[in-house]
């Protein structure tokens, strides 16, 4: 009787099309082989720099960023430091004052130019750094200067004063317009996207170069620096990764990318080689904003 019931249940679930499991994500290496979290972390703990590419507003990205941070903190006896695209370089003092408990949370949130999803997605990371007195580097170029590049090219930055230039990678930056990621941005212009022009990849490059500059300058040998950013900034080992290697070819850099797929059960061909590890999330996943 029990055997017959089991057969009936298997047949029922097969007929209804229900999956046995509903994984929130699957993890692949750059060759498209499925791997587990523990295996990834065994490699990550030997890195100098971990470039963690997220999809903004994707809850799996943000949850795993916090989990990776906690696990590395415990494994490395606290020898980690954090950094993020979401904080601009001229807000470093404010970020330091908050993490150092010199100013209140309300003052920090009022004075810093925080992203709209700060409370759901980045506050847990900042609070973790504050709780454990970890360095947290604000790496991004102030958005007003990136906007200047978008509208006037790199030469627009020549008008800036010495103090402003402290918040930007040293000029002139090494810009390669033939990098596939930057070329793809120019292709947007050819398919009729209004805001795409020859300066769009330059604005991206000044962000990538500036983030790499502050990562390289602030990284302390012996610690793992975990940098959080939109996945496009390090996909295919370009962007921040490329600029970091220009600074220091000997750096051991591990990259994580995030993507969504209708079927997470096999890595799509266009994501092969995208990063050392690729987080694949079902495209039906809800968003934080």
Give me the long-range contacts of 173-181 (CB less than 8 A, separation at least 24).
173/205, 173/206, 173/209, 174/209, 174/243, 174/246, 175/202, 175/205, 175/209, 176/242, 177/201, 179/238, 179/242, 180/236, 180/238, 181/232, 181/235, 181/236, 181/238, 181/239
CB 168 within 8 A of CB 212: no
Q: Where exactly are the structural domains of the chain?
A: 26-282
> 26-282: what fold?
Rossmann fold (3.40.50)
pLDDT of residue 273: 96
pLDDT of residue 196: 62
pLDDT of residue 9: 43
Stated pTM of the model: 0.91
pLDDT of residue 8: 44
Q: Output the tens digit of pLDDT for each of the chain's 289 residues.
A: 444 545 444 444 444 556 677 899 999 999 999 999 999 999 999 999 999 999 999 999 999 999 999 999 999 999 999 999 999 999 999 999 999 999 999 999 999 999 999 999 999 999 999 999 999 999 999 999 999 999 999 999 999 999 999 999 999 999 999 999 999 988 765 555 555 688 999 999 999 999 999 999 999 999 999 999 999 999 999 999 999 999 999 999 999 999 999 999 999 999 999 999 999 999 999 999 8
């Amino acid at each position: 009787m029990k055997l017959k019931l089991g057969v009936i249940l298997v047949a029922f679930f097969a007929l209804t099309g229900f999956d046995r499991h509903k994984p929130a994500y699957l993890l692949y290496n750059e060759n498209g082989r499925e791997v587990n979290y523990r295996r990834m972390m065994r490699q990550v703990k030997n890195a100098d720099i971990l470039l963690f590419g997220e999809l903004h507003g994707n809850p799996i990205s943000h949850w795993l960023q916090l989990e990776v941070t906690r696990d590395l903190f415990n494994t490395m006896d606290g020898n980690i430091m954090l950094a993020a695209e979401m904080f601009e370089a001229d807000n470093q003092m404010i970020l330091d004052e908050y993490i150092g408990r010199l100013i209140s949370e309300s003052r920090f949130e009022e004075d810093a130019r925080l992203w709209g999803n700060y409370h759901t997605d980045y506050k847990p990371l900042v609070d973790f750094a504050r709780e454990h007195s970890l360095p947290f580097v604000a790496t991004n170029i102030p958005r007003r200067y990136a906007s200047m590049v978008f509208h006037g090219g790199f030469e627009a930055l020549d008008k800036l004063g010495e103090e402003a230039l402290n918040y930007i990678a040293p000029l002139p930056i090494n810009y390669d317009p033939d990098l596939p990621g930057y070329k793809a941005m120019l292709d947007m212009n050819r398919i009729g996207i209004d805001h795409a022009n020859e300066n769009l990849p330059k604005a991206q490059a000044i962000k990538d170069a500036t983030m790499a500059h502050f990562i390289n300058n602030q990284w302390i040998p012996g610690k793992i620096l975990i940098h959080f950013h939109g996945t496009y900034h390090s996909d295919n080992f370009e962007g921040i990764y490329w600029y970091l290697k220009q600074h220091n070819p000997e750096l051991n850099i591990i990259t994580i990318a995030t993507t969504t797929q209708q079927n997470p059960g096999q890595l799509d061909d266009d994501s092969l080689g995208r990063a050392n590890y690729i987080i694949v999330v079902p495209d039906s996943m809800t968003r934080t904003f």
